[in-house]
Structure 1
Amino acid sequence: MSSILVVEDESAIAELISINLRHAGFEVVLAATAEQAQVAIDGVLPDLVLLDWMLPGQSGVALARQWRSAARTRDLPIILLTARADEADKVNGLDAGADDYLTKPFGVGELLARIRSVLRRRAPQALDSAVEVAGLRLDPGTHRVTRGAAEVRVGPTEFRLLHFFMTHPERVHSRAQLLDRVWGDHVFIEERTVDVHVKRLREALAPVQCATMIETVRGAGYRLAQSGAVSH
């Protein structure tokens, strides 16, 4: 489930966007000012930011420039929301580092299409970078999983499953969500198939004392716990 930070000072618009995004399966965090948005970003990086141009205090464009200049937020996907429809304003917004630009008023369908488009465009970058959690390292470029000097042997499906868990640590994912994100939403597979691959993944991680990182959350699904690895 992708998380979206909605930075919008008009509460009625923010609430309407939030309801529609949650209905479409996104996690939503709301912020009404640039300061609140920065606090949210400092806590947890979202998968995408919907950023209103006109905010009290610091503008959305200034905030976008600030995020683009910082290493941690340089690649953060940003869609600017604005009532400004002039070509020059659009150029200014994109120059500030926005990935896309949506003029108010806009339809829910267009908003969701733009969000999914930006997330798809950004996804290949994320797939290439190595990720490490609690000493366990996964490198998509070399297709290797290691802990220290030890290499973990995993099959291709378990590799994709582990990659998804490691790029979304501590979040609980239902079997349906895992099928959607790891196998693809057009593949007709039984949800219990997820259990089989989780079992295989745990078996593969056992020799490097990382099997307990993959936790079963009763009645909800699975999550990867950052504190689950056993010390060497």
Structure 2
Amino acid sequence: MKDVILVVSDTESLYQTMLASAQDAGYQVMLVHTFPDANRVISTALPLILVMEPFVSGIPTVSFIRYLRSWRRTKALRVIVVSTTTSDHDCVEALDAGADDHIMVPFSASELLSRVRSVTRVLPPPSALRTWPVTFGSVTLDRISRRVISRADGKEIEIRLGPIGFELLHFFLSRPETLFARDEILRAVWRGDTSLSSQNVAVQISLIRAEMRRCAANVAIESVKRQGYRMVTLSGNH
């Protein structure tokens, strides 16, 4: 289902909000009301993207996102969570679970479609076309298995990332010790989408850092004031 947006919502309001604009833009929009129904659709053919609310039938959406990220078939499926509240908690929880983006009310159908285009346009940088694993320090990223592993103290721990975080980490691991400005990162990983800002880069880097700390990786994405970011080895862990 190449151009299908699958909406998962208890009600039809989100579906109706984006239906006309999405169809005008060339997308097909499908609506399901439960996660089992969404899973049945996905098991038949993968949609372009899922658009979901924070809770569906009283079940946290983050649980379904984690389920999707745990399977190889759906590990890279794009997900946007639409929050009906203005709480930052929903945003942080969704992104931490592996969502690619989060949008809060109020928003227009055109803004939501812009986010859909942004997320689905995230492509590997040219160097990512190679398929063999990339390693820097204790971290190895494998594009074929879509896994990132940190090897520390004789243990292997998986670094859990959503599709955008995966591509962003690959960008840095492929170019260690190289300083990149935020707009360079946006151009390379998000293909220069003008609807995005440096905050999108900062949020994804924050999620990557949290995972790498959890896994005791000996490398990190370093911030350089007013200049950008680079991947470095941590002091004392060479």
Displacement of 1:53 in angstroms is: 1.2
Change (3 A) 1:110 1:69: same
Q: 1:3 maps to which residue?
A: 4
Matches of 2:61 and 2:39 in 1, distance apart? 11
Q: 2:72 maps to which residue?
A: 71
Matches of 2:125 and 2:24 in 1, distance apart? 26
Matches of 2:6 and 2:82 in 1, distance apart? 13
Look up the equivalent residue of 1:54 and give its one-letter code: F
User: Quick check: 1:8–1:33 contact (8 Å CA) kept in 2?
Assistant: yes
Give runs of ≥4 in structure 1 deviating > 6 Å: none
Q: Paired residues, what number?
A: 129
Q: 2:101 maps to which residue?
A: 100
Deviations 1:18-71 (CA, angstroms, capped at 9, x unpaired) = 232112110222111111111111111011111111210432221111101111
User: Quick check: 2:10–2:57 contact (8 Å CA) kept in 1?
Assistant: yes
Report the secondary structure of 1:72's partner residue: coil
Residue 63 (structure 2) pairs with residue 55 (structure 1)? no
Report the secondary structure of 1:73's partner residue: coil
Report the secondary structure of 2:13's partner residue: helix
Residue 88 (structure 2) pairs with residue 90 (structure 1)? no
Change (3 A) 1:120 1:35: same
Change (3 A) 1:3 1:129: farther
Matches of 1:50 and 1:43 in 2, distance apart? 18
Residue 49 (structure 2) pairs with residue 21 (structure 1)? no
Q: Please identify which structure carries the higher helix content.
A: 1
Q: 1:215 maps to which residue?
A: none
Q: 1:112 maps to which residue?
A: 113
Displacement of 1:123 in angstroms is: 6.5
Displacement of 1:88 in angstroms is: 2.8
Report the secondary structure of 2:121's partner residue: helix
User: Quick check: 1:53–1:59 contact (8 Å CA) kept in 2?
Assistant: yes
Matches of 2:11 and 2:73 in 1, distance apart? 28
Greater RCO (CA < 8 Å, at least 6 residues apart):
2
Change (3 A) 1:58 1:88: closer
Change (3 A) 1:51 1:123: farther
User: Quick check: 1:14–1:30 contact (8 Å CA) kept in 2?
Assistant: yes
TM-score by length of structure 2 reads 0.49
Q: 2:230 maps to which residue?
A: none
Q: 1:37 maps to which residue?
A: 38
User: Quick check: 2:15–2:31 contact (8 Å CA) kept in 1?
Assistant: yes
Deviations 1:61-103 (CA, angstroms, capped at 9, x unpaired) = 2111110111110000100011232223211110010000011
TM-score by length of structure 1 reads 0.51
Give unpaired runs (5+ residues) of structure 1: 131-232
User: Quick check: 2:19–2:29 contact (8 Å CA) kept in 1?
Assistant: yes
Q: Please identify which structure carries the higher strand content.
A: 2
User: Quick check: 2:80–2:102 contact (8 Å CA) kept in 1?
Assistant: yes
Q: What percent of counterpart residues are identical?
A: 33
Matches of 2:82 and 2:123 in 1, distance apart? 19
User: Quick check: 1:6–1:18 contact (8 Å CA) kept in 2?
Assistant: no
Give unpaired runs (5+ residues) of structure 2: 132-238
Matches of 2:24 and 2:81 in 1, distance apart? 21
Matches of 1:36 and 1:71 in 2, distance apart? 19
Look up the equivalent residue of 1:102 and give its one-letter code: I
Q: 1:121 maps to which residue?
A: 122
Look up the equivalent residue of 2:16 and give its one-letter code: E
